[in-house]
Structure 1
Amino acid sequence: MEVNDTLIAQLSNLARLEFSEDERAGIREDLQRMITFVEKLGELDTSNVAPLLHMTSDVNVLREDEVKPVITREEGLQNAPSANDQYFKVPKVIKK
């Protein structure tokens, strides 16, 4: 695949970016190197390689559930600047 000015213009339009001529030349070279690399990977024989479904063989590595002490609702609300008997009171931030 050839990277030309039309392709760079389309990509810059989609990304909503503006480039100077020097930047376009650098981008053209970088994109061409990337595309060449990907095309080179296509030459590899992968017929005997199993598809990789997961990056690791670990399954559901989770911590054990532990019962920990909790505070009561009253203890949680006692230092609140504003609260009723059940909830924290906060200033209204959404206006109708």
Structure 2
Amino acid sequence: MSVDLDTVKRVARLSRIAVSEQEAAVMADKINSILGFVEQLNEVDVTGVEPMTSVLPMDMRKRADAVTDGNKAADIVANAPATEENFFLVPKVVE
């Protein structure tokens, strides 16, 4: 897979990033080199290799799965500039 100049310009426009012709060409080259490296990784045979979360064997710490009533609404809105009945008040943005 390769990325052409038009694709870089389109992504930049969608991201609202101003990119010149020269910058777009450099970005296309860099993206293509990254994609080439990823394609090399796809060639590695990983059959029989277990997924791991760390290079050291360890068990993931897990919290107890307990149902609580919450009662955190007041704590959540404590630092908000404006609240009403534990809801955030925000300015109207639609006219």
Q: How does 1:1-96 map to 2 (within 5 A)?
A: 1-52=1-52, 54-55=53-54, 57=58, 59-60=60-61, 93-94=81-82
Q: Report the secondary structure of 2:28's partner residue.
A: helix
- Give the structure-2-normalised TM-score: 0.56
1 or 2 for the larger relative contact order (CA 8 Å, sep ≥6)? 2
% of aligned pairs identical? 27
Q: What CA distance in whole angstroms lies between the structure 1 residues aligned with 2:60 and 2:39?
A: 34
Q: What CA distance in whole angstroms lies between the structure 1 residues aligned with 2:43 and 2:6?
A: 28
Aligned-pair CA distance for 1:20 = 0.9
Q: Which has the larger radius of gyration?
A: 1
- Give the structure-1-normalised TM-score: 0.55
Aligned-pair CA distance for 1:5 = 1.6
Q: Residues 29-52 of structure 1: CA distance to partner in whole angstroms, max 9, x if unpaired?
A: 100000000011000000121112
Q: What CA distance in whole angstroms lies between the structure 2 residues aligned with 1:14 and 1:33?
A: 22
Q: Residues 45-78 of structure 1: CA distance to partner in whole angstroms, max 9, x if unpaired?
A: 00121112x2352543xxxxxxxxxxxxxxxxxx
RMSD: 2.4
Task: Report what 2:64 is aligned to.
Answer: none
Q: What CA distance in whole angstroms lies between the structure 1 residues aligned with 2:40 and 2:11?
A: 23
Q: What CA distance in whole angstroms lies between the structure 2 residues aligned with 1:10 and 1:47?
A: 38
Structure 1 runs not aligned, ≥5 long? 61-92
Task: Report what 1:78 is aligned to.
Answer: none
Task: Report what 2:76 is aligned to.
Answer: none
Segments of 4+ moved more than 4 angstroms: none
Structure 2 runs not aligned, ≥5 long? 62-80, 84-88, 90-95
